[in-house]
Structure 1
Amino acid sequence: MAKLKWGMIGGGEGSQIGPAHRLGAGLDGLFEFTAGALDHRPEAGRDYGQRLGLSPDRSYGDWREMLEGEKGRDDRVDLVTVATPNATHFEITKAFLENGFHVLCEKPMTMTVEEGEDIVRLSEKTGRICAVNYGYTGYSLVRHMKAMVARGDLGRVRLVVAEFAHGHHADAADMDNPRVRWRYDPAQAGVSAQFADCGIHALHMASFVIGQNAERLSADTVSCIDSRTLEDDAMVNLRFDGGTVGRLWTSSIAIGRQHGLTLQVFGEKGGLRWAQEQPNQLYWMPLGERLQIIERGEANLSPEADRSTRVTIGHAEGMPLAFANIYSDLAEAIRAAKDGRDMDPAADLYPRAEDGLRSMAAVFAVAESGKRNGEWVDARPPLFR
């Protein structure tokens, strides 16, 4: 079976996210890295692309050049990943969707709710996939959590508790560090800093696992470092559309926390706990029984978990392999569309444009509620009300 062709915009030399995407896309042999516009500096992007193995005529200087170069080719790329600065996501994603390309966009998908609604409508109109890289939902045991909830192991879900707290921006002396400063500048980051950066990962994972979307929220946002305009810590109370209560804490000043993405789900018949820093173990406490530790790769897990694990039990699987599961899902979706068949249900888990839109609506809702001293506000985008 021939590989699908893949292209990337952004993620150039020195990028934090670029290598994870290239590892993830290539891991299962489903995609071939065929084209790229990897840097905002045209010559640096062309040079780096060729060093990574791209042919000179498909190592482009910028995304517009890549669009023009690819759209007329018989062997055009099947999927384009957008891994550029946040404010450029909408324009690039929109242009490639309009020209018939499938897109995987880094989060946040857009900077405004209105832009997000435009992308959702455009994806529906063109019939092209627009996925959003909430890559942590690619972890095998996160997918097993979702399967356990869906098949009723926990009964009705009462409460979900999500955290994404780290301490890497806790030093007030970093106020002039350009890699940190922009995140708290409304002109560059928008209406939210920490929640838009990390909190939406925790919120999306909670929604993904319990199969419900945030309906209302109340937020307490604060800048613990006085020089910052935008928040570096937020506590958010949520009500989901299926009746579940949500609690979400996100912080960038929690010294001693490293990555800090965790999820706990509590139902009528049991509770689950998973942490991204220990992704091979899922803690399961059935009501009235002893605590059980579910290991990634063990027998008799769900089809969703089995499909998304690659190495034997006891060996670590990390973030690039979680990304690889998103790419594997997308490859299956693209091939199913080409073949005119239904895709494998165990692969139908990649985050959609609708997820990106709901996240952006939540960002604006958190900012609004924070300014109004925690007043409860609607967390849904107008399109879904």
Structure 2
Amino acid sequence: MAKLNWGIIGGGEGSQIGLAHRMCSALDDKFQFRAGAMDVDPVKACEYGTRLGLEPDRAYGSWQDMLAAEKIREDRLDLVTIATPNSTHFEITKAFLENGFNVLCEKPMTMTLDEAKEIVALQAKTGQICAVNYGYSGYPMVRQMREMVRNGDLGAVRSFVAEFSHGFHADAADADNPRVRWRYDPKQAGVSAQFADCGIHALHLASFVLGQNPKKVSADFAACVPGRELEDDALVALRMDQGAVGRLWSSSIAIGRMHGLTLQVFGEKGGLRWAQEQPNQLYWNPINQSVQILERGQAGLSDASIDASRLTIGHAEGAPVAFANIYKSIAKDIEARKLGLSLDQNELGYPTAFDGMVSMAAIDAAAKSATAASAWTELDLN
């Protein structure tokens, strides 16, 4: 099948996430970079796009221009990635879905729960793909964890512990640093800072592996650096919809922690432990037995894990390859749809608009709980 046409909004020059998306979309040779509107400045957007090799008529000055032109092209885009500031995600995602485009949106999908519900309803109405870039679910050993849970290797899952903590916002001297300050400003960040920024990655990872979504939460938010209105440290207890209990810690003041994304899952028959900074190893401890270290790429792993691996055993792959697995799964779905086929979403494994809505519901519930002395608060998913 011919390469799929891909375009990006946002992710301009100097953007780390823009470079990541361009690399990851191209890794499996499924997508061809055909269009972009990559800067809020129209002149810079057009110039940067052409410098990256786009045809001049597809290097757009704004996302509105890109939508107007692409929707009437015979070779229109098969997928549009949205990598703009958080507050613009809803408007752009909605506009492209309404005009028949498949969308991959950076997280958070929206700024509010009501917006997220609207996107989920719109996605169901249009039938288009609406994916959210929870890229850590693309790691091969995370997919191995998921398959082991689904296969019953752990028995019924009883509990989990998830973390996503770092120390890069711990210095009070950064109070006026614009790259830091906006994250703790409710006018720009919404009702939550650290939990909404990093905590929901850990929460999605747990939901992805367990096959369970949070039902209610009890949250304790703390703004430890003076002057911050939103939390820089969050502790959240969770009750999941199929009975598992969870504990999640997310912090931006944990000096000495670098990336800090980890997941531990405990079942009736064993436990699993994985850390994003050592992604090739998965620790599996069957009950009453010694711990086993499963290595990415070794024989005997699940098909889902093997399919998500590119390099031979012993080599590090890392985040770009994990993120590329999201694109790989989306490409498989788009190609199937072009052939009139329907694939099982659970088998595809890319995060959807529903996952984005669950995250927004968790943020909303956790923020309410934190202001009510950590009272248990139900997620509103209706």
Tell me the TM-score range normalised by the shorter chain: over 0.9
Q: 1-side partners of 2:114 and 2:83: how far apart?
A: 21
The aligned residue for residue 361 of structure 2 is 361
Letter in 2 for 1:258: M
Q: 1-side partners of 2:203 and 2:357: how far apart?
A: 13
The aligned residue for residue 117 of structure 1 is 117
Q: Retained in 2: the 8 A contact 1:89–1:110?
A: yes
The aligned residue for residue 169 of structure 1 is 169
The aligned residue for residue 335 of structure 1 is 335
After TM superposition, the structure 1 stretch with the greater mean CA deviation from structure 2, 44-53 or 86-95, is: 44-53
Letter in 2 for 1:93: T
After TM superposition, the structure 1 stretch with the greater mean CA deviation from structure 2, 342-351 or 29-38, is: 342-351
Q: 2-side partners of 1:66 and 1:249: how far apart?
A: 40
What are the superposed Cα offsets for residues 267-288 of structure 1, whole Å, 9 maximum, x if unpaired?
0000000000000000000001
Q: 1-side partners of 2:380 and 2:152: how far apart?
A: 26
Shift of 1:342: 3.3
User: SS at the partner of 1:265?
Assistant: strand
Matched, 1:269 2:269: yes
Q: What are the residue-to-residue correspondences of 1:1-385 with 2, within 5 Å? A: 1-343=1-343, 347-381=347-381, 383=382
Q: 1-side partners of 2:154 and 2:369: how far apart?
A: 31
Structure 2 unaligned blocks of 5 or more: none
**Percentage identity across paired residues of the two chains:** 65
Q: 1-side partners of 2:112 and 2:360: how far apart?
A: 7
Q: Retained in 2: the 8 A contact 1:214–1:380?
A: no
Q: 2-side partners of 1:173 and 1:368: how far apart?
A: 30
Letter in 2 for 1:244: A
User: SS at the partner of 1:34?
Assistant: strand
Letter in 2 for 1:100: G
User: SS at the partner of 1:299?
Assistant: coil
What are the superposed Cα offsets for residues 39-74 of structure 1, whole Å, 9 maximum, x if unpaired?
111111111111111111000001000001100000
Q: Retained in 2: the 8 A contact 1:132–1:351?
A: yes
User: SS at the partner of 1:46?
Assistant: helix
Q: Retained in 2: the 8 A contact 1:303–1:346?
A: no
Q: Retained in 2: the 8 A contact 1:148–1:154?
A: yes
Shift of 1:37: 0.3
Q: Retained in 2: the 8 A contact 1:329–1:347?
A: no
CA RMSD for the aligned pairs? 0.9
Q: 1-side partners of 2:90 and 2:147: how far apart?
A: 32
Shift of 1:300: 1.1
Q: 2-side partners of 1:54 and 1:167: how far apart?
A: 39
Shift of 1:347: 4.9
Which TM-score applies when normalising by structure 2?
Answer: 0.99
Q: Retained in 2: the 8 A contact 1:132–1:355?
A: yes
Q: Provide the aligned length of Structure 1 versus Structure 2.
A: 382
What are the superposed Cα offsets for residues 82-129 of structure 1, whole Å, 9 maximum, x if unpaired?
000000000000000000000000000001111101100100100101
Q: 2-side partners of 1:269 and 1:170: how far apart?
A: 40
Q: Retained in 2: the 8 A contact 1:332–1:344?
A: no
Q: 1-side partners of 2:11 and 2:319: how far apart?
A: 16
Shift of 1:258: 0.3
Shift of 1:310: 0.4
Q: 1-side partners of 2:44 and 2:160: how far apart?
A: 45
Q: 2-side partners of 1:279 and 1:12: how far apart?
A: 29
Shift of 1:196: 0.4
Shift of 1:132: 0.4
Following TM superposition, the consecutive aligned residue runs of length 4 or more in structure 1 with deviations greater than 2 angstroms are 342-347
Letter in 2 for 1:34: R
Q: Retained in 2: the 8 A contact 1:93–1:103?
A: yes
Q: 1-side partners of 2:31 and 2:346: how far apart?
A: 19
Shift of 1:343: 2.9
Q: 2-side partners of 1:347 and 1:8: how far apart?
A: 26
Letter in 2 for 1:348: L
User: SS at the partner of 1:29?
Assistant: coil
Q: 2-side partners of 1:192 and 1:240: how far apart?
A: 21
What are the superposed Cα offsets for residues 203-250 of structure 1, whole Å, 9 maximum, x if unpaired?
000000000000010000000012100000000000001100000000
Shift of 1:379: 2.1
What are the superposed Cα offsets for residues 142-175 of structure 1, whole Å, 9 maximum, x if unpaired?
0010000000000000001100000000000101
Letter in 2 for 1:338: K
Q: Retained in 2: the 8 A contact 1:82–1:89?
A: yes
Q: 2-side partners of 1:300 and 1:340: how far apart?
A: 33
Shift of 1:352: 0.5
